[in-house]
């Protein structure tokens, strides 16, 4: 058997790491497999590049001008198809393919002609909307019937709103395929069953993490950054800090949390740094996952004020390192939490989030041991279930 995964990245970012994790499991079981990717890679030996950063930027500009997001990048798509013809896979497993990676029309026509068996893991909602990977913050539900007059048009195009046309094209392309949809969260699976993809089988398969890496570890994190032992660390980790990820929430918490608390944000950049007050410690990308595990392990609480989310890997990583999680009740962010490892508060209720931070840090309702025990369910090899 041969399996090919297709994703924007290989080994980089959450979906890129998921692809590599799947690839390693397949290899361990003696299954020939490859990852076709379009932009960035960590050098994983089974990754095959089908594009370049410059090409992707050019196609992103073209998409902005033409408004046809998802239906450009014909050159990269031809290279993908060329690789698929060489490999002749039995199964193609799609992940994120909306980073200006491919032309959906060309790729799915190929799949239809070849009668390819497809698995598509949805990491967001893009497959069943005109433009949007997420629509929770703007409160839009046009995707249930037909996208048009996109309220987030400016995020995707400078000129004509083609969301209705793109919605129709996706709907037509995805009908009648040998397609199984995989959702990491119950939340997203239920949305799929309300969309034009409702006729396809949906499997719920939670993402997993490497428990050999993410576990309680001792290190010199506090010493390295000059954080006194008596300060409680309130940690946030994201790659692309903005309002959707809750950057503004941490800015508010910095104004009101007592001085004995140290907010640490990981995954920032120079633009984010310019917005942060002095009492927030900013850490750009960590050097490796081992270092990230060290940061998780030192935190008193991991705070994830995300407003649009599927099934965040960072929550699982924190719990596996023995750190309880506090998150907004949005998407599937709270699905992995129970009374042993964390809690949720209503989305945008910053006052409630602050009170929960104080309760978790002062009353210690969650133990490191309880979190680590909960994390045993996050191992990469897990069963799936259908809805």
Residue with token string 């998921």: 18
Mean pLDDT of all residues in 44-61: 95
- How deeply is 77 buried, as exposed, middle or buried, from its count of CB atoms within 10 A (0-12, 13-18, 19+)? buried
In this prediction, residue 314 carries a pLDDT of 95
pLDDT value at 362 more than 80: yes
In this prediction, residue 323 carries a pLDDT of 98
Same fold, 2-204 and 221-378: yes
Residue with token string 């033409």: 66
Q: Which residue has the higher pLDDT, 287 or 358?
A: 358
Q: Categorize the per-residue pLDDT at 385 as very low, low, confident or very high, splitting at 50, 70 and 90.
A: low
In this prediction, residue 288 carries a pLDDT of 80
In this prediction, residue 119 carries a pLDDT of 98
Looking at CATH, the fold of the domain delimited by 221-378 is given as: Rossmann fold (3.40.50)
Q: Categorize the per-residue pLDDT at 287 as very low, low, confident or very high, splitting at 50, 70 and 90.
A: low
pLDDT tens figures, 230-267: 999 999 999 889 999 999 999 999 999 999 999 999 99
pTM: 0.91
Q: Categorize the per-residue pLDDT at 18 as very low, low, confident or very high, splitting at 50, 70 and 90.
A: very high
Instruction: Report the C-alpha gap between 379 and 205 in whole angstroms.
Output: 12
In this prediction, residue 381 carries a pLDDT of 55
pLDDT value at 331 more than 90: yes
In this prediction, residue 387 carries a pLDDT of 55
- Own/partner long-range contacts of 172-179 (Cβ < 8 Å, ≥24 apart): 173/104, 173/105, 173/108, 173/109, 174/108, 174/127, 174/200, 175/199, 176/112, 177/108, 177/111, 177/112, 177/118, 178/115, 178/116, 178/117, 178/118, 179/118, 179/119, 179/120
The residues spanned by each domain of the chain are 2-204, 221-378
Region of 82 please: left (phi>0), alpha (psi -120 to 50) or beta.
alpha
pLDDT tens figures, 53-95: 999 999 999 999 999 999 999 999 999 999 999 999 999 999 9
| Inter-residue contact 194 to 125 (CB < 8 Å) | no
Neighbours of 103 (CB within 10 A): 21
pLDDT tens figures, 154-212: 999 999 999 999 999 999 999 999 999 999 999 999 999 999 999 999 999 998 898 99
Mean pLDDT in the chain?
A: 95
DSSP 8-state assignment for residue 71 = B
pLDDT tens figures, 31-41: 999 999 998 89
In this prediction, residue 77 carries a pLDDT of 97
**Architecture label for domain 2-204:** 3-Layer(aba) Sandwich (3.40)
Phi and psi at 237, nearest 5°, equal -130, 125
Instruction: Report the C-alpha gap between 327 and 318 in whole angstroms.
Output: 12
Q: Categorize the per-residue pLDDT at 384 as very low, low, confident or very high, splitting at 50, 70 and 90.
A: low
The set of residues, in sequence order, having a beta carbon less than 8 Å from that of 45 and lying 6+ positions away, is none
pLDDT value at 49 more than 80: yes
Neighbours of 374 (CB within 10 A): 22
Instruction: Report the C-alpha gap between 52 and 344 in whole angstroms.
Output: 40
Q: Categorize the per-residue pLDDT at 14 as very low, low, confident or very high, splitting at 50, 70 and 90.
A: confident
What are the tokens at 262?
A: 């140290």
CA-closest candidate to residue 86, choices 12, 164, 4: 4
């Amino acid at each position: 058997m041969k399996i090919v995964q297709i994703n924007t990245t290989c080994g980089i970012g959450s979906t890129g790491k998921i692809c590599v994790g799947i690839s390693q499991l397949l290899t361990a079981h003696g299954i020939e497999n490859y990852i076709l990717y379009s932009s960035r890679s960590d050098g994983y030996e089974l990754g095959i590049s089908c594009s370049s950063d410059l090409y992707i930027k050019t196609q992103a500009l073209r998409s902005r001008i033409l408004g046809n997001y998802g239906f450009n990048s014909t050159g990269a798509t031809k290279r993908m198809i060329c690789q698929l013809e060489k490999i002749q896979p039995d199964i193609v497993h799609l992940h994120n393919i909306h980073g200006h990676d491919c032309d959906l029309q060309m790729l799915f026509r190929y799949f239809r002609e070849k009668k390819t068996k497809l698995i598509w893991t949805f990491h967001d909602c893009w497959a069943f909307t005109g433009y949007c990977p997420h629509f929770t913050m703007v409160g839009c539900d046009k995707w249930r019937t037909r996208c048009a007059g996109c309220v987030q048009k400016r995020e995707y195009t400078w000129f004509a709103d083609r969301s209705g046309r793109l919605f129709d094209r996706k709907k037509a392309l995805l009908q009648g395929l040998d397609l199984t949809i995989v959702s990491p969260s119950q939340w997203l699976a239920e949305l799929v069953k309300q969309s034009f993809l409702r006729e396809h089988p949906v499997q719920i398969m939670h993402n997993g993490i490497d428990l050999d890496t993410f576990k309680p570890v001792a290190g010199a994190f506090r010493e390295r950054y000059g954080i006194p032992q008596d300060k409680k660390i309130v940690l946030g980790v994201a790659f692309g800090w903005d309002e959707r990820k809750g950057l503004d929430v941490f800015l508010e918490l910095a104004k009101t949390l007592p001085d004995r608390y140290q907010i640490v944000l990981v995954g920032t950049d120079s633009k984010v740094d310019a917005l942060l007050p002095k009492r927030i410690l900013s850490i750009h990308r960590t050097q490796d996952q081992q270092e990230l595990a060290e940061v998780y392990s030192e935190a008193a609480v991991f705070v994830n004020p995300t407003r649009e989310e599927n099934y965040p890997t960072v929550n699982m990583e924190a719990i596996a390192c023995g750190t309880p999680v506090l998150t907004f009740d949005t998407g599937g962010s709270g699905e992995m939490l129970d009374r042993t490892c964390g809690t949720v508060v209503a989305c945008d209720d910053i006052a409630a989030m602050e009170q929960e931070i104080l309760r978790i840090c002062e009353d210690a309702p969650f133990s490191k041991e309880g979190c680590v025990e909960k994390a045993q369910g996050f191992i990469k090899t897990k069963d799936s279930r259908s809805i």
